[in-house]
Amino acid sequence: MVPVQHRSYRIDDDCIEEHTAAGVINRLLQEALKQNASDIHLEPGTEGLVIRFRCDGQLKKQAVLQSDLQNLILNRLKVMAEMDITEKRLPQDGHLAVVWQEQLYDLRISSLPLYQGEKLVLRILGQREQMMTLEQLGFSEENLKKVQTLLKMPGGMILVCGPTGSGKTTTLYSMLAALQSRGQNIVTLEDPVEYEMPGINQVQINERTGLTFARGLRSVLRQDPDIIMVGEIRDLESAEIAIRLAYTGHLVLASLHTGNAIGAVKRMVEMGIAPHLLASCLNGVVAQRLVRCSQDASVRGRIAIQEVLVCDRNVKQLISRYDNFLDAQEQIAAGYLSLAEDGRRKAEEGKTVQAELDAVLGPEL
């Protein structure tokens, strides 16, 4: 169990104050945790406050609460998350720690002003206490061997890419777990720290206090690191520092919001990274999505589909001559198993169904 290190809100299973804001929030959080939801959406509507949970990647309507409770519930949540309840015209962010059944959960709360009123989204972290190994992530045998080879490189950069909610952080943590046996100094920069890993130096990014990814990366250089994990490359400044760390012999793991492995290379160049620098540092890219599993014709849980681009000498030469890389995209992509191909194989093995692949990747035209 993650230790409670700051003030937290304890969920009461026996709460009977069902018709108060506190009682509704208590029941709401309890139900979301029971259903293993990753997000809670509270959306103002004409009929009242609509509650939706995201479970296994899908949003499902749970309830509609009376309009007279709407402001009380939203304001109470904002107070608990140390947000400004008087500010309803601009977006805000906050966080809240809750304890349920002796387990600590960290909730990231964001507000968004809508035409109909203020909407809150609560992202639930800390649901999965068990660290997954690389072997448990669903890599095909071919892709697993590629990733294991990439992790044996003494320096350079490995990018893990995909949209929000595609399991990038889980993959990065699994990579770190595989690297722990090296006996090296591993430092991470995360927003937020989603899993506490003993033996690894984890830095919690805090934009409010000025501890940004870029500032944290600059400080890491003075900490004698061997391996650095960057939760997310967000802009040119953080990309440049990560590239410099990889260029000077550190092994850098980072996530990037792109659709596929080829897109990760293009995104880095579009950010402003010189192609020849990227070519010298980039060891490989893992792109992934999460699709719901098939199980006796019903669908429960999710598995990952992946593609792994290894930047060998030929690929590096093409990246350094970027126009050649753009011309050779299809040729490069033909050299590895694509997301769609990996998904089809898993559908053939009965691990998912084509309808789920179409929902995540889009139907094939």
Q: What Cα–Cα distance (Å) separates residue 114 from each residue in 89, 90, 263?
A: 9, 10, 32
Per-residue pLDDT tens over the stretch 328-345: 999 999 999 999 999 999
Per-residue pLDDT tens over the stretch 107-160: 989 999 998 899 999 999 865 445 689 999 999 999 999 999 999 999 999 999
Beta-carbon-side half-sphere exposure of residue 173 (alpha carbons within 13 Å): 21
**pLDDT (0 to 100) of residue 217:** 82
Per-residue pLDDT tens over the stretch 2-47: 343 446 788 876 665 667 888 899 999 999 999 989 899 999 988 8
pTM of the model: 0.81
Evaluated on CA atoms 318, 323, 325, 327, the torsion sign reads negative
**pLDDT (0 to 100) of residue 68:** 81
Count of beta carbons in the 10 Å neighbourhood of residue 314: 12
Which residues 6+ apart lie within 8 Å of 37 measured at CB? 53, 54, 55, 124
Which residues 6+ apart lie within 8 Å of 277 measured at CB? 243, 247
Mean pLDDT of all residues in 214-239: 88
3-state secondary structure 299-311: EEEEEEEEEEEEC
β-pairing, 9-10 with 92-100? parallel
Q: Measured between alpha carbons, how far is 106 from 5 in angstroms, rounded to an integer?
A: 11
**pLDDT (0 to 100) of residue 18:** 65
